[in-house]
Structure 1
Amino acid sequence: MTEYSVISDTEEFLAACAALVAGSGPVAVDVERASGFRYSQRAYLVQVFRRDSGVFLFDPPAIGDMGALQTAIGDVEWVLHAASQDLPSLRELHLEPRTIFDTELAARLLGHDRVGLAAVVEDTLGITLKKEHSAADWSTRPLPAAWLEYAALDVLHLVDVRDALVAELEEQGKTDFAAQEFAATLARTPKAPREDPWRRLSGLHQVRGARNLAVARALWEAREMYAQQQDISPGRLVPDRSLVAAVLANPASKQALAGIKEFQGRASRTQLDRWWQAIVDGRAAEQLPRERVPSDTLPPPRAWSDRNPEADARLKAARPAVEAVAEELGMPTENLLTPDYLRRVCWDSPGTTAAEIGDALAALGARPWQIEQTAQKIADAFVEAAQAPDTTSPTAS
């Protein structure tokens, strides 16, 4: 049985923070959300472990202001697993680390075959964790004892895992690689909201015509507003496929909407007036959405030979060169260099020297260590592609 303290009132909270201040070394931090159940991505439990302090399970909705915890551990290195997933929820609570160690990212750089938390704990420490509650509704109160035990184990071993990975990184000469990746994760700004978030509707590609797209938009917006009001995940109210089915069925009345078999979900009938009004509003909308949206997304590589043969040749030469470096370093290619960065420099052709390609990669967001490992290889591949005979020319033999 794991020893832990559940913290849900101010007195307990301040005592736990004092205990953490008296602890030693880095702190392990984890967050449990209610993804798929609630509208928000707020943290419903924050787990913290520090040597000589113990494991504390903080209940943010009950505590409220978490400032004392930030004061207690804000200057200490935080150990997280898949930090990019937890940092937004922590920042919403005004919990902000100055430095981090990401055990998942470190495992990727080290070439571990499995990088989930349970797998990394088992590979480094030989301890088996059960992950049966990872997708639970953590907004549930009171939280079951089995869930709390699971949450405590998520941080109990994380500092030991960190120490094992630090040694591996040193042994493989990747300490600086990891430091740059951790700093980039911490500095990464949230993506700007999409201009038309309703276009994320799964199955929207089936909808034809601007008027029908306006109906889809109105249904999505109505569901989004209600989901936010109720703090329930939109898909639990009415799934995407049901909204699209309603658009495609083009019902003539509210009763006809209710009769659509595919229009399902816990709020599909209880909020029928809401959905019907959305359909009416969409049909009457004066500003219709564009059927085709301009995008700076590159075409899929399979289309490059027709759209941009020179870029196609560059990519076909550069991609195996980068893959070879990744294999030599013993890490996934996507951790050596983001695939989209490689595709963009191949498409745009910023130059044929390592310096020119390095500048282009840096502008895209590549880290110095990634540029150092790949820029020259890409430059050599570009030269090779330029010198290769043009097999697409009618005169080529």
Structure 2
Amino acid sequence: MTTRPDEELADLAAELVRIPTENPPGDERPCAEFVVDWFAERGIDARLVEEPSADRAQAVAWVGDDPTDGDDSEGANPDEYGDDADGTTLVLNGHLDVVPAGDPERWDRDPFAGVVEDGTLHGRGSADMKTGLAVAMLALRDLAPEIEAGDLDGTVVFHGAMGEETGDPGTRTLVEAGYGGDCAVVLEPTDFRVGTSAKGVVTYRVGVAGSASHASHPDQGTNALDAARPVLAAIDDYDERLREREDPLVGRAYATVTEFEAGTDSNMAVLPDRAEFLLDRRILPDETIEAVEAEIADLLAETERRTGVETDLTPVEHYASAGIPTDHALAERFRRLSAETADAPREPWGLEAATDAREFVAAGTPAIIWGPGNLSQAHAADERIDLGDAALALEILKRAATESLSPK
């Protein structure tokens, strides 16, 4: 019996969910191997990319010219944003990793069972973003005959990247290895809204110095917990000022303490001699990481000058902000088709979260963020996605790719 397209999509997405790729630790290789084998069985060029980590291999596939021939990884000229800037090499980008499922007791179903019920796929990664990967895989396969026959002029490249959830350079490595293009679609769950910009984020570990003493003689030392209070207060004031900065698409900048630790490696009757906390700084598209770093350093230096509290600062991870013009041809095309097919809003929009679109924009390649599923399901317990929306996404993606690659 022939499998209907919606059943095929459901089966493929469910099978991807059943391959655990939690990050951390980041065990993407089994999923990457599955993807490469799936393409190879259908006669489509595909390979594993073992950089930056063989244990966390990535998957690439393409129809059309081998994207590494001539190394077109620099992408389109940013000055060519406009009517026909979407070019002839289209990259469909997704990430293989998912955030940890956490306590299974919080889930109604096994998070890695890939259960399909009443047209909904349940499980970790169903929305973010194994279903998006499945949509991209089927789109590339379905477009292959027309590209190989010359009816469509160009190449479609698929990325199954590692490490997106923790800021690892998976997509960046693929672009630098030559698997880039003239434009890219990053298939995050956006409910078919077209994101042309996204916030960035930098996380710092801030250390606060104290001096240890026994809790029976607290005045003989300096409790690092107390020393941290004015530093935390200064960050609260900084956050209040940041909230006055706002981008029309992605919202406000923020500075938030997300984790605090002190005294956990010592006797419980000893004042901690050091406290550490994580500082999460959300970055707007018009801010640079250099300016943010200078602000944080100045903030801590001023706090030390006023209070005498010594601190140290260590970067943990950084996702750059990214943006392209809202009227870019690729964005306009996906807005139009999403409105016609899925009744999606047509107004410009941006994401408050960081995505791998930044890696394309940094390389000079225009990229949008678009896909089926709701962002509220990303990272949530009982994560799920409407497979009817996934089927619409496949239809829209194939129509958009056909328009992008049709001979001018």
Same fold (TM over 0.5): no
TM-score, normalised with respect to structure 1: 0.25
Q: Relative contact order, CA 8 A, sep 6+: which one is greater? A: 2
User: More helix per residue: 1 or 2?
Assistant: 1
Computing the radius of gyration over CA atoms, which structure comes out larger, 1 or 2?
1
TM-score, normalised with respect to structure 2: 0.25
User: More strand per residue: 1 or 2?
Assistant: 2
